[in-house]
Amino acid sequence: MEFAVILAGGTGKRLWPLSRQKRPKQVLRILDGQTLLRRCFERLQRSFDLRNILVLTNHEFVDVVRENLLELPEENVIAEPTVRDTAGAIGLAATILSKYDPDSTMAVVTADQILEPPEIFETALRTAISFVNENPEALVTFAVKPTFPSTQFGYIKLGEVKPFAESRDAVRRVEAFREKPDEATAYTYVESDQYVWNSGMFVWKSRTVLEQLGRFLPECLEPLRHIQTDWGTANQQITLKEWFGRLPKISIDYAVLEKANDVYAIALNCRWLDLGSFAALGDIIRSDDHNNIVVAGHSELLDCKNNIIVTEDKGHLIALIGLDNMIVAHSPDATLVCPATQAHQLKELLEQIQRHGRDTFL
């Protein structure tokens, strides 16, 4: 059978104070009242039976995720007892799926991306699933053509075309993975036309990714074996809590994809955006005549330009005078005001808030 796994565990610190430790960015209602998680779920419903969609999330987010996806069976929202990065989350999902269907095919997507139009994503997804079903040892990622020399994304170097009956040139072998580069290197990648962004979405057989995890990350074998044995029994949650935290904290890219041989890429020729910062809103929301990005029910701007103004509170008025290139983000108990050029210091600011004992604002 074919399954979709949504990874929805990240907090999105670069969107503070809207995103919080108990309210991640994927459930913020800043896209015409919809959430990123909801949009992701609705895209997948075009290709998967409702019962075959799983969501993996941090244990603190379970309630808010279930509230956002009321039609999803409760047991399909799986709580990770602790944060273990994507290798642990994917290992857990593959372990669960392979117990019920040893030949299962799984598509892994993240909840914080925007893909438009969804029909193009659906076509690429079906191509990937067909390719994996014909080539069960393959690990497939989705490649995005860079639109600028980003230092925030990982890159993939593409190799030769892999012949595939359904599409002559859709599948390319991956020659190498490259981590987030500096600006000069990113510029070189884009100019070469050999590199693409790594979307962080994948398709493979559950058993295949487990075999690769066992090969390159053998310390995950015992925890996953215990979890699989007790999954679906009265000891399921006790065993998950005991053993999940023993999984190595590492990304699937580092753990497997950079080392494996049968890795392929399929082009995702649609509008793709990883909503990781306030600046990214400029790519999805139309600015006003003065280049202000406004996500607010009520706003009054006087002599303002190049600003990003965000609030989920539709009854709250944000009024600004004479601001240029600023970020103003309002939530019920905290407000951020900073130059857009200094938004990269948010992590440092949150660390300072924690040092001052104000954890309730995090």
User: What tens digit of pLDDT does each residue of 40-55 get?
Assistant: 999 999 899 999 999 9
Token code pair at residue 151:
């230092």
Listed residues 274, 300, 331: the one ending a domain: 274
**216 and 121 housed in the same domain:** yes
User: What tens digit of pLDDT does each residue of 114-142 get?
Assistant: 888 889 999 999 999 999 999 999 999 99
**87 and 203 housed in the same domain:** yes
**166 and 291 housed in the same domain:** no
**291 and 156 housed in the same domain:** no
Cα(139)–Cα(251) distance, rounded to whole angstroms? 15
Answer whether residue 283 shows pLDDT above 80.
Answer: no
pTM for the predicted model, two decimal places: 0.87
Answer whether residue 11 shows pLDDT above 80.
Answer: no
**351 and 244 housed in the same domain:** no
Sequence-ordered alpha helix ranges (H) in the chain: 36-44, 62-68, 85-100, 118-134, 183-192, 206-216, 221-230, 236-243, 252, 346-355
Determine the pLDDT at residue 168: 66
| Beta bridge partners of residue 261, listed in sequence order | none
Determine the pLDDT at residue 326: 96
pLDDT: which is higher, 277 or 37: 37
User: What tens digit of pLDDT does each residue of 148-164 get?
Assistant: 888 888 899 999 988 88
Answer whether residue 179 shows pLDDT above 90.
Answer: no
Q: What is the mean pLDDT of the chain?
A: 91
Q: Which residue type does 311 have?
A: T
User: What tens digit of pLDDT does each residue of 305-343 get?
Assistant: 999 999 988 889 999 999 999 999 999 999 999 999 998
Give the CATH number of the domain where residue 225 resides.
3.90.550.10
Instruction: Dump the DSSP string for 39-68.
Output: HHHHHHTTTS-GGGEEEEEEGGGHHHHHHH
- Could you give the number of structural domains in the chain? 2
**315 and 268 housed in the same domain:** no
**253 and 295 housed in the same domain:** no
Residue 145's pLDDT band (cuts 50, 70, 90)? confident
Answer whether residue 97 shows pLDDT above 70.
Answer: yes
User: What tens digit of pLDDT does each residue of 287-304 get?
Assistant: 999 999 998 889 999 999
Q: Are 68 and 15 contacting, i.e. CB atoms less than 8 angstroms apart?
A: no
**166 and 236 housed in the same domain:** yes
Q: Is 303 left (phi over 0), alpha (psi -120 to 50) or beta?
A: left
Determine the pLDDT at residue 113: 86
**350 and 249 housed in the same domain:** no
**103 and 213 housed in the same domain:** yes
Neighbours of 59 (CB within 10 A): 16
Answer whether residue 243 shows pLDDT above 80.
Answer: yes
**270 and 306 housed in the same domain:** no
Residue 90's pLDDT band (cuts 50, 70, 90)? very high
**What range does the domain containing 195 cover?**
2-274
| Main-chain dihedrals φ then ψ at residue 103, nearest 5 degrees | -105, 20
Listed residues 232, 256, 274: the one ending a domain: 274
**50 and 131 housed in the same domain:** yes
Residues in CB range of 180: below 8 A, 6 or more apart = 151, 152, 153, 154
Determine the pLDDT at residue 344: 86
Cα(332)–Cα(361) distance, rounded to whole angstroms? 10
Report CA Rg, the chain: 21
